[in-house]
Structure 1
């Protein structure tokens, strides 16, 4: 498993901005940028007063929280930018912070419109 994680980080860091061979990101740079994206998204989500965890029972909860899906969306969008070889400035750390902020705003204000909650099986209404 650790070999898969290393290969993923290595191949994400192999490309660079505009494909220039003299500007490269190392695996540590990519890992730090991912951590920045996760931390910024969770902190901004908590500032926006999203709960840390969804309501109980956790397994059947469709509530958004600071721990899920906020950092998942942040690292997914940041991965897309890395695959497209766009890192902006400071080895992608500024881009990771911007994506973390935007993902927290997306989860707070637009997530329920893009991904609505499933209908209740009995009444045909949204689950609350």
Structure 2
């Protein structure tokens, strides 16, 4: 989800979840891990975005289970604590792949290029805002 990885991370898909190039990346994933996200309509093309299976949903609220997508597994608990525990069980660098990172970078570049073309002159405004904000800044 947005914010889990900084946009500068080589495996960040940034905010391009509705882009065809990013969707092509998603189809190659082994599973979907949803942590605290409601998978809202604007993030999922009105709930038509196909997400890889199995879909595992982590949320502190048991009522969030299967709210917008049916989960294969539901884990109730604090996302930060559960993700920290999961990360502790993984070996750093275990699945690092320069080829995969390059594929992600290419998909992100295609998505950004398409958005810039669609935005026209407004892309310059986005660039100015991006330049004015600190690296971890948000515009609300």
Tell me which interval the TM-score lies in, with the shorter structure as reference length: under 0.3
- Structure-1-length-normalised TM-score: 0.27
Rg (Cα) greater in structure: 1
- Structure-2-length-normalised TM-score: 0.25
Give the number of the structure whose residues are more often helix, by fraction: 1
Give the number of the structure whose residues are more often strand, by fraction: 2
